[in-house]
Structure 1
Amino acid sequence: MQENAGSKSPIKTGCLTLSEVTIGLGGRALLAISATIAPGEVLTIMGPSGSGKSTLLAFAGGFLDPAFDVSGRILIDGKDLTAVPANRRHAGILFQDPLLFPHLSVGGNIVFAIAPDVKGRGARRRLADAALDEVGLAGFFDRDPDTLSGGQKARVALQRVLVSAPRFLLLDEPFSNLDAALRQQTRELVFSKARAAGLPTILVTHDSADAEAAGGRVIEIGMEEQA
């Protein structure tokens, strides 16, 4: 499925599976999860600070600190990614902060993420311009990221992830720094894009409104009963 030239087509993906994943630190168990997320589905992991939500995303993304004790596997379309380096997992990640590169223009941030198999400055520029146009930022290519509002930065960060052709999405409370009106608007944009691209998605949050907007299954951790 393709939206248009703005979002480079994602690598064909399948289900994302967390198989008997357990994570602990210093002899203390943090979480134990098994789940399969279908293409376009959002699995929400809810829990208080310190419950291991972001740690789970770090495991899925391949950048978990070795101080943690981990067992279990992560698979995409049946392929075991557990030992695959982070830069080869094709995970798209959004954090609380958009983390735009301040030394690059808005368009430069998008171009940076476009796969190297897209050759030529003109072709890469056209993809970036189309990606910005998709989210109402036509003509913003040469803007300094510091001149953008919080909502605009969030849209640029999302499009930067999508043009990288991810196989799955990891969302680490990406709406928490936005005001209420922008939060709802950005939720709708992110989840609609994930569904349209057929990306299995894991959202971690402490906000029940995020889970409601995601519309998928919810697993609570760090509560009386751990999933």
Structure 2
Amino acid sequence: MTTAKAEGLTLRDVTITLKGKRLLRMDLTVPPGAVLTVMGESGRGKSTFLDFIAGFLKPPFAATGEILLNGRDITHLTPQERRVGLMFQTPLLFPHLSVMGNLLFALPETIRKKRDRIVAAEQALAEAGLAGYAARDPATLSGGQQTRVALMRVLLSEPQALLLDEPFSSLDRARRADIRSLVFETARKRALPVILVTHDEEDAHAAGGLITHL
């Protein structure tokens, strides 16, 4: 008898604690292309929750439970082995690299030929509406453009899940709606399970899917 592969991001009785005090508990699955939105006041453990999934949890926080990504147990793997993409509140582009350099940095080593790597980066820019921006200094881009580059950099690393730590909060209202749509539509198109941490009700409702309050 063959067991069907479990798709999506599954959290099995995941509990985050700080000095013995429980901050949160999660037991659920985020299906491919769906978004789980986590809301709550500062200090409730939202970003710490993402750190645990991505493999960056540090003391004094502690966690128990299991993380499965498409049926693979990633709980004790290194961040590099997990294939989880993480976007932060600020784009965090490398200032010493061009836009192209930032994108090439993220490409997996399996794409070996230089021309193939450049083509992949150029296609990502075109998908983000930034064709022709490859040589630009990231400092010359608007906030929305920087966020688009940051999204493409994450996606070029070929993640199997996407974690969003308030990535829209630094954008003005008009740019926020556009970038938000780009992120969620791209995640759905690539069948990536997404966890969004936000304080913003509009972000939560735009994401669709389950909303949990801490």
TM class by shorter chain equals over 0.9
- Identity over aligned pairs, percent: 54
| Structure ranking higher on relative contact order (CA contacts 8 Å, 6+ apart) | 1
What's the counterpart of residue 102 of structure 2?
A: 109
What's the counterpart of residue 178 of structure 2?
A: 185
SS class of match (1:18): strand
**Deviation (angstroms), 1:33:** 1.1
Q: Which whole-Å CA distance do the structure 1 matches of 2:8 and 2:120 have between them? A: 27
What's the counterpart of residue 21 of structure 2?
A: 28
What's the counterpart of residue 204 of structure 2?
A: 211
What's the counterpart of residue 76 of structure 1?
A: 69
Quick one: which of 193, 197, 201 aligns to 2:190?
Answer: 197
SS class of match (2:182): helix
Q: Which whole-Å CA distance do the structure 1 matches of 2:116 and 2:80 have between them? A: 24
Count residues with an aligned counterpart: 210
Deviations along 1:14-62, one digit per CA (max 9) or x if unpaired, are 2101110111111221111111010000000111111100000000001
Q: Which whole-Å CA distance do the structure 1 matches of 2:78 and 2:156 have between them? A: 20
TM-score by length of 2: 0.95
TM-score by length of 1: 0.90
SS class of match (1:155): helix
What's the counterpart of residue 38 of structure 1?
A: 31
SS class of match (2:38): strand
**Deviation (angstroms), 1:78:** 1.9
Quick one: which of 114, 121, 129 aligns to 2:114?
Answer: 121
Letter in 1 for 2:31: A
Structure 1 residue ranges without an equivalent (≥5):
1-12, 222-227
- Counterpart check, 1:96 vs 2:93: no
Over the aligned positions, Cα root-mean-square deviation in angstroms equals 1.2
Deviations along 1:77-108, one digit per CA (max 9) or x if unpaired, are 22211111111001111000000000110011
